[in-house]
Structure 1
Amino acid sequence: MEESRLILCDTDVIIELYKNSTEIIEVLKQIGQSNIAISTITAGELLYGALNKKELSRIKQDINNLTLIAPDAKTSEIFLDLMTNYSLSHKLSLPDGLIAASAIANGLELYTLNKKDYRFIKGLVIFNPEK
């Protein structure tokens, strides 16, 4: 990537990184570690998915090496708007709603492998690794 900009990574991207997906590893290298951000919901989902204490410790260490985006009042307001607008019509899940709200509130592109979960959200910019 030419310029320095934070990219918010969805949980699925980080999970694929842990599975050693060469495609994801290459994209994240291009983004650069200092430009990779995750939301607190992603951090929580990763910790929740740990299979043992060793894995939990590794995930916690990895989280500490990334920029963590925590919800603030603006994120909360956007989150509630998203849930109001999309929970019935598009079945927007709570984690996806909070991740999308975090991206929108902070002006970040969202890198996700599940574009269908987000494509209907107005104001959300999906990161395109091909650019």
Structure 2
Amino acid sequence: MEREIDATLIQNLEDFNYTLTETSYLGLRPGDIAQLTYEGSLRYGLVVSSRRTSDGMFLSSRNNTLLNFVQADTLSEAMFSLMINNLYNNETACNYNSREIIGSFLGRRNFRTFNVAKIRNILKVNVDK
């Protein structure tokens, strides 16, 4: 089954060699770039850790597993390239507690926590740097 890929994501990745791998939320780590469908809406961005978790996921007070995610769909091509070159696969830098790092690159307004029960069609972006 072929998955729909966001046109802006394809455009942002055109300067890179990359592959897409279908995965579950368990296959994601901080520093991973992923495209996913959340409540019927296609989104892409960067998985990040936080004070609560080192692996990007945590259990909420309502017993929901949540994924820390910074949306990248509003980034310019230049900022997307900076994200790839500085944050992609860098678990140390991809920590939401490092607000100067995440905030300066991606903006705090783009931070989301997604309930994994509502996530579908996860594609992990593997970039050859």
Normalising to structure 2: TM-score of the pair?
0.23
Of structures 1 and 2, the larger Rg is shown by 1
Identify the structure with the greater helix proportion.
Answer: 1
Identify the structure with the greater strand proportion.
Answer: 2
Normalising to structure 1: TM-score of the pair?
0.23
